[in-house]
Chains A and B, each alone.
Chain A
Amino acid sequence: MSLLEIRNLRTYYFTSKGTVRAVDGVSLDIEEGEALGLVGESGCGKTTLAHSIVRPRPEAMQIVSGSVWFESDSGRVDVARLPENRIRSIRGREIGMIFQDPMTYLNPAMRIYDQIGEALMRHVGCSRSKARQRAVEMLAKVKIPDPLTIAKYYPHQLSGGMRQRVITAIAISCHPRLLIADEPTTALDVTIQAQVLEMIEELQKDLGMALMLITHDLGVVAKVCDRVAVMYAGKIVEEGDIFSLYKEPKHPYTAGLLEATLSIEEFKERLTTIEGSVPDLANPPAGCRFHPRCPYMTETCRKEDPPLNVTEGGRRIACRLYM
């Protein structure tokens, strides 16, 4: 059984301008200890998917149908349906999270070791002094230089890269089985990004936790992940092993995205692009959502939404071409 099993999940936003179908029928598994990359462009629903698992869920956001089964210490639970008081015993303890903007998730008026210690006191029942001591150990684990000094700092005294390390220290303090990282390095400079990615990779291996890395950056996924799922307009269009998927993308969107991705290894005189732009999820196209931009579009694609089928080698593809 998988650690996390997302089944037919639909998460919509009910706004004054209509219903935004941000996640629209997603099924995805994460196995114990693996690193899964979830990639897609802005507005494809990847962050909504993360929030469907662990919340916070804004008022307008609702899980319309589907389930998110998580193998927790106290048995298999559907975290999508769990009441808030029960999700609290899982979030921060069994599922850790790190986000793009650490400042939003750090308390500006609380010293670093108390922020890390908070989770330990709540979930593990540490005393304050024990929690502070463990917090310093966690800071060392995320490779913060001079952890004893930094522990007493406030968030504003730290740089962006250091804050991201602190958030990671909080996320892993209770040894979670799953770490969800939503664009953890997007706001960081490239040399700092390299440091943080290296740290995440090492922690994932050392602690044996599963990682769900959400990003728009195909380079970041290539470095860190074993498996990758590509999202487009609220759906997963392709999913498979990282090596084979990058080498032989099957879905026209995946192929287009990889073609359009720039690399410092290669000079391109003319850049490949995907014509058109990402659809509005309040009013997505009928049939396959990629059809208006797809070079292989047929009459069927306009009408019928292709299911995510398993093909040879375990690759899952949602495209008429591979049915």
Chain B
Amino acid sequence: MSPPEALVQVRELTKYFPSGGGLFGTPRLFLRAVENVSFDVLKGETLTLVGESGSGKTTTARLVLRLIEPTSGTVLFNGQDLFKLAEDEMRLIRPRAQIVFQDPLASLNPRKTVMKTLEQPFKVHTSFSNKEIRDGVVDLLEQVGLTPPERFLDRFPHELSGGERQRVCIARAIALKPMFVVSDEPVSALDVSIRGQILNLLKNLQEDLGITYLYITHDLSVARSISSRLAVMYLGKIVEIGDASEIFRLALHPYTQALLSAVPIPNPEVAKTKKPITLTGEPPSPINPPQGCRFHPRCSSASEKCRREEPSLIKREKRLVACHLYA
């Protein structure tokens, strides 16, 4: 069997946001949101970027779809270098690479009915007749489990529940049969009883339509159930990336270990006996990240080398890990 093909290849992606300073000769400050991040998203898989706030996962997601421009680096989508494309060429890519956001209410137009929202992609990107568009919308609603579709067509976002709204957002994302969907915390705002419905829907769509996902979350329990592979981010860097079940079985990077051990387990017998690896302090500011390994000030295994030298991702047991312990 040949190795699975990469649909998205991210290489040395970097994004700095200007962040104050620069007035009257004070040095310009930059928030180093993402720095030298490289990874592949393989065809048909779900690669999950996990990390805490400020780790750069959402910035990475936006760069991958070119919703924002990078400071440097490249993203190859299906072989095409996205940042070299002109706007009209980008328009041809858009239907194939879509996104679902965390807050469905914020990403739906409150004054548009479900029909109006969902006919938009067809109107912009196809030459369908009105009848074809209506059929397309009805099909979409069925695909995302909003049945019978007639009951939903004329509703406004405020007339839907949180789960139903997210289904509409997913329907919009899959309208034009994308190959690739970025899902940025799509279930974080939903209740536990609804969360599973949406995750199952995403999994079913992946099987039926062969969609490749880049999934963004801070919730490791969700990551456990959705991911084929996992990339753990800390302060704008990937610290560990590999097969998800392997990482959950045995994390290598000290940050991944601490992160996994901090997740509360919904079983009192385990939860009350497990002693989490408590990290001291809080993540440093991405405006002025620590020298050497960015995790060293909070790492219990940090050595002199970690303070000086930044570790690069090295191969270890079928995965990549950026830590001097494994050099």
Chain A residues in contact with chain B, CB under 8 A?
Answer: 41-42, 145, 159, 161-162, 189-195, 197-198, 216-220, 222-223, 242-243, 246, 256-258, 260-268, 270-275, 277-278
Is B279 interfacial (CB 8 A cutoff)?
yes
Is B31 interfacial (CB 8 A cutoff)?
no
On chain A, the residues within 8 Å of B272 by CB distance are: 222-223
Q: How far, in angstroms, from A25 to B123 measured CA to CA in the complex?
A: 52
On chain B, the residues within 8 Å of A267 by CB distance are: 224-225, 245, 248
On chain B, the residues within 8 Å of A270 by CB distance are: 200, 203
Is B267 interfacial (CB 8 A cutoff)?
yes
Taking a contact as CB atoms under 8 Å apart, the answer to whether B266 and A260 are in contact is no
Taking a contact as CB atoms under 8 Å apart, the answer to whether B220 and A264 are in contact is yes
Given contacts A267-B225, A267-B245, contact A277 B196 (CB under 8 A): no
On chain B, the residues within 8 Å of A277 by CB distance are: 161-164, 193-194
Tell me, rounded to whole Å, the shortest Cβ–Cβ distance linking A186 to chain B. Answer: 11
Of the candidates B203, B218, B224, B248, the one having the most CB atoms from chain A within 10 angstroms of its own CB is B224
Q: How far, in angstroms, from A21 to B200 measured CA to CA in the complex?
A: 32
Assuming A194-B261, A262-B221, A263-B221, what are 16 further A-B pairs, CB within 8 angstroms? A190-B259, A195-B279, A219-B221, A222-B267, A223-B264, A223-B268, A260-B192, A261-B221, A262-B219, A264-B224, A267-B225, A271-B200, A273-B193, A273-B194, A277-B163, A277-B194
Is B208 interfacial (CB 8 A cutoff)?
no
Taking a contact as CB atoms under 8 Å apart, the answer to whether B224 and A278 are in contact is no
Interface residue from A42, A189, A217, A220 paired with B218 (Cβ < 8 Å): A189
Please report which residues of chain B, range 255-278, place their CB below 8 angstroms from some CB of chain A when the two chains form the complex: 258-272, 276, 278
Taking a contact as CB atoms under 8 Å apart, the answer to whether A271 and B225 are in contact is yes
Q: How far, in angstroms, from A162 to B196 measured CA to CA in the complex?
A: 33
On chain B, the residues within 8 Å of A217 by CB distance are: 264
Q: How far, in angstroms, from A145 to B191 measured CA to CA in the complex?
A: 35
Is B195 interfacial (CB 8 A cutoff)?
yes
Taking a contact as CB atoms under 8 Å apart, the answer to whether B262 and A190 are in contact is yes
Tell me, rounded to whole Å, the shortest Cβ–Cβ distance linking B305 to chain A. Answer: 24
1/0 contact trace for B218-244 toward A, CB 8 Å?
111111110000000000000000000
Taking a contact as CB atoms under 8 Å apart, the answer to whether B248 and A264 are in contact is yes
Interface residue from A195, A198, A246 paired with B267 (Cβ < 8 Å): A246
Of the A-B pairs whose beta carbons lie under 8 Å apart in the complex, a sample of 25, sorted by A's number, is: A41-B193, A145-B281, A189-B283, A194-B262, A195-B278, A198-B276, A216-B191, A217-B264, A219-B271, A220-B264, A222-B270, A256-B193, A257-B192, A258-B266, A260-B193, A260-B195, A263-B265, A264-B221, A267-B225, A271-B196, A273-B194, A273-B195, A274-B193, A277-B194, A278-B191
* A195 nearest in chain B by CB position: B278
Given contacts A219-B271, A257-B192, A267-B225, contact A246 B278 (CB under 8 A): no
Q: How far, in angstroms, from A161 to B281 measured CA to CA in the complex?
A: 10
Q: How far, in angstroms, from A190 to B224 measured CA to CA in the complex?
A: 15
Q: How far, in angstroms, from A71 to B278 measured CA to CA in the complex?
A: 36
Q: How far, in angstroms, from A195 to B268 measured CA to CA in the complex?
A: 18
On chain A, the residues within 8 Å of B268 by CB distance are: 222-223, 242-243, 246
On chain B, the residues within 8 Å of A194 by CB distance are: 261-262, 264, 276, 278-279
Interface residue from A161, A223, A257 paired with B282 (Cβ < 8 Å): A161
- The number of residue pairs between A and B whose CB atoms lie closer than 8 Å in the complex comes to 133
On chain B, the residues within 8 Å of A265 by CB distance are: 265, 267, 270
Q: How far, in angstroms, from A220 to B220 measured CA to CA in the complex?
A: 14
A-B pairs, top 7 by smallest CB distance, nearest first, are A219-B264, A271-B196, A273-B196, A194-B262, A189-B52, A262-B221, A274-B193
On chain A, the residues within 8 Å of B197 by CB distance are: 273, 275
Q: How far, in angstroms, from A111 to B52 measured CA to CA in the complex?
A: 29
Interface residue from B162, B265, B276 paired with A264 (Cβ < 8 Å): B265
Q: How far, in angstroms, from A277 to B271 measured CA to CA in the complex?
A: 29
Is B299 interfacial (CB 8 A cutoff)?
no
Taking a contact as CB atoms under 8 Å apart, the answer to whether B220 and A190 are in contact is yes
* B272 nearest in chain A by CB position: A223
Taking a contact as CB atoms under 8 Å apart, the answer to whether A191 and B265 are in contact is no
Given contacts A262-B222, A278-B193, contact A191 B267 (CB under 8 A): no
Tell me, rounded to whole Å, the shortest Cβ–Cβ distance linking B117 to chain A. Answer: 20
On chain A, the residues within 8 Å of B193 by CB distance are: 41, 256-257, 260, 273-274, 277-278
On chain A, the residues within 8 Å of B203 by CB distance are: 270
On chain B, the residues within 8 Å of A190 by CB distance are: 52, 218, 220, 259, 262-263
Tell me, rounded to whole Å, the shortest Cβ–Cβ distance linking B49 to chain A. Answer: 15
Is B53 interfacial (CB 8 A cutoff)?
yes
On chain B, the residues within 8 Å of A192 by CB distance are: 52, 282
On chain B, the residues within 8 Å of A218 by CB distance are: 192, 266
Tell me, rounded to whole Å, the shortest Cβ–Cβ distance linking B303 to chain A. Answer: 21
Interface residue from B220, B224, B266 paired with A246 (Cβ < 8 Å): B266
On chain A, the residues within 8 Å of B261 by CB distance are: 194
Is B199 interfacial (CB 8 A cutoff)?
yes
